[in-house]
Amino acid sequence: MASSIINADYPQSWGNKRVAVWYHKGPASYTVVTVASPPTGGDPVTDTEAGMRYFDYIDPGCSDNAQYRIEAIPSFGNPSQAQGAGQGGTQGSAQRSWILRWMVVSTGLEVAGGVNLSSRTVRLFGIGVK
C-alpha cells in the first residue's frame, strides 16, 4: 500500500528506539482478518513504509474521514508471548510487518471483504528498534 512520511523529521530517535509518524493509504480490495496463529488478511503495513527497521508497536487511530477505526495486529501473533522473562522467548523479536484491521465506526464491525478503501488514509505512529 502507498504511504508517505508526514514530514522530514521522521523517523527520529527516542533514546534507544526509533519512532515514525506517517500516512498509510487503504487497500483497493480489503481482506477480512482471519483469526489464527499467525493471523492473516487485513491490510499489511511494513517497517519500510515508515522508514524504519522493525516495529515494537503501532498506534493506528482513525481514517481521514473518521468513518473507520483502525486496529494494529502483530503479523506473528502477540509479541509479548515471544518476549520477556518467564515466557520462554528472547528479547529483540520485533516484527517487520503488522496487519491493520479496518473497523466501521458507526457499527463496530470489521469492513467487509472486497471493499475499496484506497481513497482513505490513516495516520500511524510506530515505535521500533534503531
| Domain extents in the chain | 3-129
Q: Using DSSP, state whether 13 is helix, strand or coil.
A: strand
**How much is the pLDDT for 16?**
82
Of all residues in the chain, what percent are helix, strand and coil, respectively (each to 5)? 5, 40, 55
77 vs 18, residue with greater confidence: 18
Which cell is 101 given? 484491521
**Where residue 17 falls among pLDDT bands split at 50, 70, 90?**
confident
Rounded Cα–Cα distance for residues 83 and 41 (Å):
24
**Cβ 43 vs Cβ 100: under 8 Å:** yes
Angle, vertex CA 49, rays to CA 38 and CA 29, nearest 5: 60
Q: Tell me the C-alpha distance between 128 and 17, whole Å.
A: 6
Tell me the mean pLDDT in the region 28-34: 97
Distance CA 9, CA 26 (A): 24
Q: In this predicted model, which residue has the larger pLDDT, 68 or 48?
A: 68
Q: State mean pLDDT over 125-129.
A: 87
